Amino acid sequence: MKKKILITGSNGFLGNLAKEYFIHNFELVFVDISSSNEANFYKVDIGNFAEIDDVISKEKPDIIFHFASEIFDTHDKKKIYKTNVEGSKNIKKSAIKNNVENLIFTSTFSLYEKNYDYLISESEPISCKNYYGITKFEVETLLLDTDSELNISIFRCPIIVDKSRAHRLGVLFEFLKDNCTLWILGDGSNKLQFVSASDLFIAIEKSINLTGKHVYNIGCEKVETMKETFEYLINKTGSKSKIRHFNKNLGLLILKILSFLRFINFIDYHNKILVSNIVLDISRIKKDLNFVPTKSTAELMLDAHKYYLNNSDKSQKGSAIRPKMGFFSVIKFISKII
C-alpha cells in the first residue's frame, strides 16, 4: 500500500516539481492558498489552523512535505510571518494531533548573510538580517522543540535550481542571449552554492523513514567561483559576451539605491550574496543519507539557461516566474554597446 504524502505549497515551483517526482510511488494530497483544478487538491490558508487541520484530519497523511512559504519578493512582514511561522506552527500542531509519521521542511541558506572563508556546518550560528531567513530559522526552532513522536527532517537548501526555474537567473540569461557584457562586482572569486530540485527530492525520499529529528545542509559538492561560472556559460552557450569587473563597493551602493527605489527586483540580501562566499558543508547528509550531488553549480546554470531559451512562451508561478528586467534593461543596453 502506497504511503500518503501531503504537500503544502503544491502550486509553487518546488511543489509542482515534487508532484512529478513522487506521483509514481506515493499517494499525493495537495494544499495551496491559490486555486487548482487538480484532483486531491485543497485550497487552504495554512495560517488558519482550522483550515489546515480539517484537511490533515480528513486525509490522514503519513508524511507532510512542508514547502509553503512566502518568497523574498514579499515585502509585507506580517504576511511573511503568518505564512512562514504561524502556518508552520499550525502544521506541526495538526501533524502531532493526527499522528503523522514524518514532517519534512525545506529551510534555507539565507540564514547566513556574510562572507565565509570556510564551509558552513549545520551548527554554525545564523548571521541573517533578512526577514525571510529570520522566519525560516524560527520555524526550524519551533519544529525541533517538541517531545512528540513526530519525526522531523529539515533540509537547509541553497539556491534551488531546476531547468524550469528562471526568475532572477533570467536576468543573466538575457544578457548572455544578447551577447552583452557580464558584470562582476569585485574579482569574482566568491562562490555561491546551488542545489538541483531532483537532488533535493532524492535526499527527501531517503529521509522518509528516518526517526528522530535531523537538520541537513544540502547542495552541490562542486561549486565554481562566480567568474568560473560565467566563463563556463559563455563557453558552452557560444555567447559573445565578455566579462568585465566593477568596483565592488560602488556596485553594491548602486544596487542598494536601485533596490530601495524598487527599480530592480532585488532586496539588500540579494545584492550582498553577489559578492559573498556562501557554501554549505554537506558532509553530514553524505554520511547519513549517502547523498551524492549529480551536477556542479555551473552545470545546473547551463541546464536552466537552455530551458529558458527554448521555453520563452511558458507561464510560470512563484519563484519560477520569468524576470521583470526593469532597470536592468538600461544596464543591458549600455552593456551591449560598450
Please report, for the chain, the start and end positions of each structural domain, with discontinuous segments joined by +. 4-160+194-217, 169-191+222-278+295-337
Mean pLDDT of 109-122: 95
3-class secondary-structure state, position 117: coil
CATH of 169-191+222-278+295-337, one of 3.30.70, 3.90.25, 1.10.10, 1.20.950: 3.90.25
Q: Cell 526593469 maps to which residue?
A: 326
312 vs 21, 214, 303, CA distance in Å? 24, 39, 14
Q: Indicate if the pLDDT at residue 318 is higher than 90.
A: no
Output the pLDDT for position 196: 95
- Does domain 4-160+194-217 fall under CATH 3.40.50.720? My reply is yes
CA nearest to 16, candidates 28, 26, 4: 28
Q: How confident is the model at residue 320 (pLDDT cuts 50, 70, 90)?
A: very low
Centre a 10 Å sphere on the Cβ of residue 312 and count the other Cβ atoms it contains.
11
pLDDT of 223 strictly over 70: yes
Identify the pLDDT of residue 319: 42
Measured CA to CA in angstroms, residue 13 lies from 10, 317, 337 at distances of 8, 7, 35
Span between the terminal Cα atoms of the chain, in Å:
63
**Alpha carbon distances (Å) from 70 to 64, 78, 135, 233, 272:** 18, 11, 10, 31, 20
Q: Which amino acid is at 219?
A: G
Q: Dihedrals φ, ψ of 282, to 5°?
A: -105, 20
The whole-angstrom separation of Cα 275 and Cα 192 is: 9
pLDDT of residue 308: 85
Average pLDDT over residues 48-76: 91
- CB atoms under 10 Å from CB of 107, counted, come to 22
CA 57 to chain centre: 29
- What percentage of the chain reaches a pLDDT higher than 70? 91
Give the model's confidence band at 316: pLDDT under 50 very low, under 70 low, under 90 confident, else very high: low
Angstrom distance (rounded) from CA 272 to CA 32: 31
C-alpha dihedral, 239 to 174 to 295 to 310, nearest 10°: -90
- Of 60, 59, 67, 20, nearest in space to 41 by CA: 59
CA dihedral angle for residue 30, residue 36, residue 40, residue 46, rounded to 10 degrees: 40
Q: Please tell me the predicted confidence (pLDDT) of residue 168.
A: 72
d(CA 30, CA 41): 5
φ/ψ (deg, to 5) at 48: -110, 110
Task: Answer for the pair 322, 164: CB distance below 8 angstroms, yes or no.
Answer: no
pLDDT digits (tens, 9 = 90+) for 17-30: 999 999 999 999 99
At 203 the pLDDT is: 98
* 265 has pLDDT over 80: no
pLDDT, average across residues 246-270: 83
User: What average pLDDT does this structure show over 200-220?
Assistant: 97
CA distances from 39 to 28, 157, 222 (A): 9, 29, 39
Please give the pLDDT value at position 326. Answer: 66
How does strand 27-32 pair with strand 102-108? unpaired
- Average pLDDT, stretch 180-202? 95
- At 163-173, the pLDDT tens digits run 776 667 888 88
Average pLDDT over residues 154-170: 83
CA 224 to chain centre: 19
Q: What is the pLDDT of residue 55?
A: 98
More confident residue, 323 or 137: 137
For position 166, what pLDDT does the model report? 60
pLDDT at 66 over 70: yes
State the average pLDDT over residues 92-107.
97
pLDDT, average across residues 262-279: 81
Handedness of CA 119, 124, 125, 126 (dihedral sign): positive
Burial environment of residue 150 by CB neighbours within 10 A (0 to 12, 13 to 18, 19 or more): middle
Report which of residues 88 and 267 the model is more confident about.
88
